[in-house]
Amino acid sequence: MEGIFYKSFLKLVAGKEKQLAILIDPDKFDISATKSFLNKIPKETTHLFVGGSTVANGETEETVKALKAESKLPIFLFPGDHSHITPLADALLFLTLLSGRNAEYLVGQQIKSISKLKNLALEIISTGYILIDGGNNSSVSKVTKTEPLPQENIELIVNTALAGQFMGAKLIYLEAGSGAKIPVKPEIISEVKKAINIPLIVGGGIKTEVQKETAYRSGADMIVMGTAFEIESTK
């Protein structure tokens, strides 16, 4: 069953309205500066994502609480681990790391999350998560002990995305890794977009307006930016 946040996502995609999620890493966020952080992010921001590959216990909850108190934007959890789940958010990107062959991140973490999730009202959005080589060693690669897919192998990336859709994913997320040197290339975005019929999220290393516009023009329905807005709010 589709929940309200996914439905409104689909509506925006159908209207060709591009979406921008700002990723807040609880590890690098100064809660006392929540208001000024929210004033600095772009006016066109549609979603707040909260997550990180390594987050200390309880930090996600505190961060979501602070953001909820100051913002009406939908808050999606973007978990690196099942322990990052908190009831105060609106939705959860239920990630499965399709690019890797580590069963723990394909299905293990997901099973571990269930005892908590089944008692929560969080909207769960199945997300095929694909790590692509961004030219530097990413935290996702380190934490999950998996290799990213090479940007040159577009066919493999497209097939991975389509397999995700056939397995029931509601979103595909192409990830070059936080702080990537090379964001996901336009040809990859356009080929994946052509192949799938579910919304496409692209993130990792996107910092400039030009990079953003290029990704949108290539077919990204939503762009995720994290590092670009971390500078002024680092602890």
Ligand X SMILES: CC(C)=CCC/C(C)=C/CC/C(C)=C/CC/C(C)=C/COP(=O)(O)OP(=O)(O)O
Ligand Y SMILES: O=P(O)(O)OC[C@@H](O)CO
Number of residues that bind Mg ion (CB under 5 A): 3
Q: Which of residues 55-94 bind ligand X (CB under 6 A)?
A: 78-80, 82, 94
**Token output for 42:** 């772009």
Beta bridge partners, 96, equal 128
The answer to the question of residue 178 lying near Mg ion (CB under 5 A) is yes
Candidates 179, 182, 190, 229; binder of ligand X (CB under 6 A) is 179
Residue partners of 139: CB distance under 8 A and separation at least 6: 52, 53, 54, 177, 178
Long-range contact set of residues 14-19: C-beta below 8 Å, sequence gap at least 24: 18/216, 18/220, 18/221, 18/222, 18/223, 19/46, 19/47, 19/221, 19/222, 19/223
Candidates 77, 180, 184, 189; binder of ligand Y (CB under 6 A) is 180
Shortest separation between residue 114's beta carbon and Mg ion, angstroms: 27
Q: Which of residues 21-40 bind ligand Y (CB under 6 A)?
A: 23
Q: Which of residues 9-48 bind Mg ion (CB under 5 A)?
A: 25
Shortest separation between residue 127's beta carbon and ligand Y, angstroms: 12
| Side-chain-side CA neighbours of residue 215 (13 Å) | 30
- Main-chain dihedrals φ then ψ at residue 132, nearest 5 degrees: -120, 145
The answer to the question of residue 106 lying near ligand Y (CB under 6 A) is no
Shortest separation between residue 232's beta carbon and ligand X, angstroms: 16
Candidates 64, 204, 212, 222; binder of ligand Y (CB under 6 A) is 204
18, 209 Cβ separation under 8 angstroms: no
Q: Binding partner of residue 94 among ligand X, ligand Y, Mg ion, none, CB under 5 to 8 Å per kind? A: ligand X
The answer to the question of residue 207 lying near ligand X (CB under 6 A) is no
User: How far is residue 115's CA from residue 101's CA, in Å, rounded to a whole number?
Assistant: 24
Nearest CA to 52 among 223, 230, 221?
230
Shortest separation between residue 96's beta carbon and ligand X, angstroms: 6
- State the residues that interact with ligand Y by CB under 6 A: 23, 175, 178-180, 203-206, 224-228
